[in-house]
């Protein structure tokens, strides 16, 4: 039984130079209290997926096809009012570099309270204060620090504050877009640990979005790999990491220098991602792929299941 389900989501952005094919038939699902990670490099469309779920796509975006089902309800079919009511209550998001979005002239506690009260105007001040304390405990902040201003908080603390704001209304789904970029390695580790605890304790589902595979590896039960607007691989994290099927995933894993093991030469993927104003007709990864077949340049690859729950978008993969 899935909490969130995307079916064939296709989104284009209209610009002065033409249509940018940002997403093409993206399908995935996420269960309750589960962590799903979307990994991909810049321009692959992962943030667009997040924005589509939140109903925050830019004005020049057009959803050409697909459904986004949250607890069975199609979010794309809702009007703005209905979406606004749902947003933050059922699904909340922590944006990229959100810690920089805290208002520098208001105290941190005030800002979190504002998030609490905006979505539940009926709350009494005492109830709100109690909720604030609860949230602090959840994210690992000291209630005594709530009277500080954002610049007095470290990067990690600010990120926790933003997470607290997102959790204020007890959503079922939290979207975390690059939650640890710009944080030091040790602080990032703590934040990810905290999020994992929340997932378990609050039965919260989390959708992680990151360009860094290691963040996904650490935190997610299932993961999807995105490239040029398409989902090219999907499955349980262990499955995908131990046995990557898609040549892009394989190439990506070969691009990371390792701390463990022997020092081997990195074999980066040659070239650059395609321009989405005019993406390749067949497989979008074909121009950079080592293992091309006859149908790769001309036909869209099939989305096939290999192992139980492990999918890949490729002509050439064999089970």
Partner 1 sequence: MSPQGTRSLVMFSDVSKVYRRRQSLLRRAGVDVKALDRVSFEIRPGEIFSLVGESGSGKTTCGRLLVRLEEPTSGEILFDGVQVSSFRGKQVKEFRRQVQMIFQDPYQSLNPQLTVFQTVVEPLLVQRYGSHRDREARVQEMLEEVGLRPAQDFIFRYPHQLSGGQRQRVAVARAMIVEPKFVVADEPVSMLDASIQAQLLNMLLDLKERHDLTLLFITHDLATARYLSDRICVIFKGRIMEQGPAESVIQNPKHPYTQALLKAVPTVSRRREGLPPPACPVDTLSAPLTGGCPFYGRCPSCNERCREQEAPLREVEQGHYSACFLHYG
Partner 2 sequence: MSSPATDSREQRESHGEYHRPAIHWLRHLGENWAIYRSNPMGLIGLGLLVMFAFMALASFVPPLLDPMYHPMSGVDPEIDRSLGPSARHWLGTDFMGRDILSQLLTGARVAFIIGVSAAFMAVAIGTLVGMVAGYFGKLVDTLLMRLADIVMVLPGLLVILILSSVFGQLSVWNLVIIVGLLKWAGVSRVIRSQTLSLKVRPYVEAARVAGASHRRILMRHILPNVLPLSFLYMTFGVTSAILIEAALSFLGFGDPSTVSWGMMLQWIWKTGHMFRAPYWLLPPGICISLITLSFYLVGRAMDEVLNPRLRKEVLEQ
By a kind-dependent CB cut-off of 5 to 8 A, residue 241 interacts, out of partner 1, partner 2, none, with: partner 1
Provide the token pair at 111.
């800002």
Residue ranges in 190-209 that form contacts with partner 1 under rule CB under 8 A: 193
Using the rule CB under 8 A, which residue among 17, 263, 294, 318 binds partner 1? 263
Strands 222-227 and 230-236: antiparallel
Using the rule CB under 8 A, which residue among 254, 300, 304, 316 binds partner 1? 254
Quick one: which of 201, 203, 160 has its CA closest to 183?
Answer: 160
Give the DSSP per-residue string, 145-202: GGGS-GGGS-HHHHHHHHHHHHHTT--SEEEEESTTTTS-HHHHHHHHHHHHHHHHHT
The total of other beta-carbon atoms located within 10 Å of residue 295's CB is 15
Q: Which ranges of 182-288 would DSSP assign to H, the alpha helix?
A: 185-201, 213-219, 237-242, 247-253
- Burial of residue 2 (number of CB atoms within 10 Å: 0-12, 13-18, 19+): middle
Shortest CB 265 distance to partner 2, Å:
10
By a kind-dependent CB cut-off of 5 to 8 A, residue 80 interacts, out of partner 1, partner 2, none, with: none
Place of tokens 């944006």: 95
Shortest CB 39 distance to partner 1, Å:
9
Q: Which stretch, 26-34, 69-77, 252-260, 304-312, contacts partner 1 (CB under 8 A)?
A: 252-260
Does the footprint of partner 1 cover residue 5 (CB under 8 A)?
no
Rounded-to-integer distance, Cα 175 and Cα 93, Å? 5
Using the rule CB under 8 A, which residue among 16, 42, 105, 122 binds partner 1? 42
Provide the token pair at 240.
């995908």
Shortest CB 66 distance to partner 2, Å:
22
Does the footprint of partner 2 cover residue 298 (CB under 8 A)?
no
Does the footprint of partner 1 cover residue 291 (CB under 8 A)?
no
Residues paired with residue 65 on neighbouring β-strands, in sequence order: 10
Q: How far is CA 290 from CA 118, 139, 250, 267, 313, in A?
A: 53, 45, 11, 12, 16
Using the rule CB under 8 A, which residue among 110, 133, 272, 305 binds partner 2? 272
Site map for partner 2, 15-54, x if CB under 8 A? xxxxx-----------------------------------
By a kind-dependent CB cut-off of 5 to 8 A, residue 278 interacts, out of partner 2, partner 1, none, with: partner 2
Binding site for partner 1 (CB under 8 A): 41-42, 154, 157, 184-186, 188-189, 193, 211-215, 217-218, 241-242, 251-260, 263, 265-270, 272
Report the interface residues with partner 2, using CB under 8 A: 14-19, 60, 268, 270-272, 274-275, 277-278, 287
């Amino acid at each position: 039984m899935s909490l969130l389900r995307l079916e064939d989501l296709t989104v284009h952005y209209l610009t002065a130079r033409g249509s940018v094919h940002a997403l093409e038939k993206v399908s995935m699902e996420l269960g309750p209290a589960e962590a799903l990670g979307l990994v991909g490099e810049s321009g692959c469309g992962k943030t667009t997926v997040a924005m589509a779920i939140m109903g925050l796509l830019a004005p020049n975006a057009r959803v050409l096809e697909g459904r986004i089902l949250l607890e069975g309800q199609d979010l794309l079919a809702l009007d703005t009012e209905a979406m606004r009511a749902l947003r933050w209550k059922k699904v909340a998001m922590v944006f990229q570099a959100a810690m920089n979005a805290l208002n520098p002239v208001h105290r941190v506690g005030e800002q979190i309270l504002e998030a609490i009260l905006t979505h539940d105007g009926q709350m009494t001040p005492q109830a709100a204060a109690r909720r604030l304390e609860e949230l602090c405990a959840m994210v690992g902040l000291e209630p005594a620090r709530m009277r500080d201003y954002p610049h007095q908080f470290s990067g990690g603390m600010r990120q926790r504050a933003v997470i607290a704001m997102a959790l204020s209304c007890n959503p079922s789904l939290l979207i975390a877009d690059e939650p640890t970029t710009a944080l030091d390695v040790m602080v990032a580790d703590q934040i990810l640990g905290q999020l994992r605890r929340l997932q378990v304790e609050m039965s919260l589902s989390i959708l992680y979005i990151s360009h860094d595979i290691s963040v996904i590896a650490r935190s997610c039960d299932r993961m999807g790999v995105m490239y040029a607007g398409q989902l090219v691989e999907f499955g349980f994290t262990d499955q995908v990491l131990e046995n990557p099927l898609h040549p892009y995933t394989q190439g990506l894993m070969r691009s990371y220098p390792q701390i463990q093991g022997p020092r081997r030469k990195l074999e980066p993927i040659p070239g650059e991602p395609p321009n989405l104003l005019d993406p390749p007709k067949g497989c979008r990864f074909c121009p950079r792929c080592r293992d091309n077949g006859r149908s790769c340049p001309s036909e869209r690859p099939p989305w096939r299941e290999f192992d139980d729950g492990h999918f890949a978008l490729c002509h050439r993969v064999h089970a």
